[in-house]
């Protein structure tokens, strides 16, 4: 059936999900999109993404300021900086989509009753996440961050599939690619912490 | 294709350069899925085949 439909370059993953040892995202297909019940307009999706980035930027920034381990602190400083860069990208996209080239920020009216930056990627409240990290090991915090970034990667690809505007779709693909890089950086740091004597 | 090979392909390619399709049931997807995977339960595959870009490599699980 699939080959008849033109899907000639197709493979099945042996062992299915049970064989998968990589990052995992949870939630139903509409997870994360629920902040905007009618998030069909591109500018609403951009606002949602901006708000989540702002939440993550605050979370990573606060973490970087509270950690003692220099390498982990540098990772979180880098992540906070990357999220700020994503916000700038999303503002530019907002300007392009709406034609309002002079917009200095995304209007509050697009946030549909949520407080921008209160919730971060992964759907978790920033304050709640920071409270959770108190007294936790760095490994636990890194694991949480991996889960958040996996969720974010997943969400951006869902957003990309929801949009019809070509430029907007490309931006969400770029953001997803950025999240994939964050995941790789964290995976490398976690691996290094597991094998501290490795070269 | 092994799970390791899928992971390697995801690392080498950019998001959007391949189709990653989760053909399990919604409840299974909700419990945990490969980030970026699109849910098309196997029972709906025939009717939703147009959602898969035939120009890109496709991985099903």
Beta bridge partners of B60: A12, B21
- Rounded Cα distance, A111 and A46, in Å: 10
ipTM: 0.93
B46 interaction partners in chain A (CB closer than 8 Å): 1
> What is the tens place of the pLDDT at every residue in A125-135?
899 999 999 98
Counted across chains A and B, CB pairs separated by less than 8 A come out at 120
Calculate what percentage of chain B has a pLDDT beyond 70: 100
Mean of pLDDT values over A3-22? 87
**Domain span including residue A135:** 38-194
Confidence (pLDDT) at B35: 92
Question: Quick one: pLDDT band at residue A103, thresholds 50, 70, 90?
Answer: very high
- Rounded Cα distance, A80 and A85, in Å: 9
B10 interaction partners in chain A (CB closer than 8 Å): 22, 180
Query: Is B3 within 8 Å of A176 when comparing Cβ atoms?
Result: no
Nearest-5° Cα angle at A11, A10 to A15:
160
* Residue A190 pLDDT > 90: no
Calculate what percentage of chain B has a pLDDT beyond 90: 79
Among A34-38, A59-63, A97-101, B49-53, whose mean pLDDT is lowest? A34-38
- Rounded Cα distance, A180 and A157, in Å: 11
Q: Is A32 left (phi over 0), alpha (psi -120 to 50) or beta?
A: left
Confidence (pLDDT) at B28: 93
pTM for the full model? 0.80
Residue carrying the six token digits 């189709």: B19
The string of DSSP codes covering A163-180 is: ---HHHHHHHHHHHHHHH
Residue A11: inside a domain, yes or no? no
Residue A33: inside a domain, yes or no? no
CATH code of the domain containing A129: 1.20.1260.10
Number of residues that make up chain A: 199
* Residue B5 pLDDT > 90: yes
- Rounded Cα distance, B35 and A183, in Å: 11
Tokens of B33: 């899925």
* Residue A38 pLDDT > 70: no
B33, B39, B60 ranked by CB distance to A24: nearest: B33
Residue A51: inside a domain, yes or no? yes
Considering its fold, how many domains does chain A have in total? 1
CATH among 3.90.550.10, 3.30.479.30, 1.10.3720.10, 3.40.250.10 for B3-60: 3.40.250.10
The string of DSSP codes covering A75-142 is: HHHHHHHHHHHHHHHHHHHHHHHHS-TT--S--GGGGTTPPTTSB-TTS-BHHHHHHHHTT--HHHHH
Confidence (pLDDT) at A30: 67
Calculate what percentage of chain A has a pLDDT beyond 90: 32
- Rounded Cα distance, A173 and B17, in Å: 10
* Residue A199 pLDDT > 60: no
* Residue A32 pLDDT > 80: no
Q: What is the mean pLDDT of chain A?
A: 85
Strands (DSSP E) found in A7-103: 10-12
């Amino acid at each position: 059936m699939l080959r008849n439909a033109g899907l000639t370059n197709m493979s099945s993953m042996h062992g299915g999900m049970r064989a998968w040892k990589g990052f995992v995202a949870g939630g139903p297909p509409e997870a994360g999109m629920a902040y905007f019940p009618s998030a069909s307009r591109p500018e609403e999706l951009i606002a949602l993404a901006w708000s989540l980035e702002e939440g993550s930027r605050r979370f990573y920034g606060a973490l970087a300021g509270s950690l003692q381990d220099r390498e982990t602190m540098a990772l979180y400083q880098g992540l906070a900086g990357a999220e700020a860069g994503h916000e700038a990208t999303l503002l530019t996209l907002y300007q392009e989509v709406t034609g309002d080239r002079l917009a200095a920020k995304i209007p509050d009216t697009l946030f549909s009753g949520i407080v921008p930056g209160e919730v971060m990627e992964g759907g978790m409240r920033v304050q709640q996440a920071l409270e959770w990290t108190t007294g936790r090991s760095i490994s636990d915090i890194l694991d949480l961050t991996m889960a958040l970034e996996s969720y974010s990667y997943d969400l951006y690809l869902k957003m990309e599939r929801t949009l019809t505007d070509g430029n907007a779709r490309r931006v969400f693909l770029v953001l997803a690619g950025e999240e994939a890089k964050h995941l790789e950086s964290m995976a490398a740091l976690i691996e290094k912490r597991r094998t501290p004597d490795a070269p | 294709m092994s799970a390791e090979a899928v992971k390697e392909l995801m690392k080498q390619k950019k998001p959007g350069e391949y189709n990653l399709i989760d053909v399990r049931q919604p409840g299974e997807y909700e419990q945990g899925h490969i980030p970026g995977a699109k849910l098309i339960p196997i029972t709906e595959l025939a009717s939703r085949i147009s959602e898969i870009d035939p120009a890109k490599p496709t991985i099903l699980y």
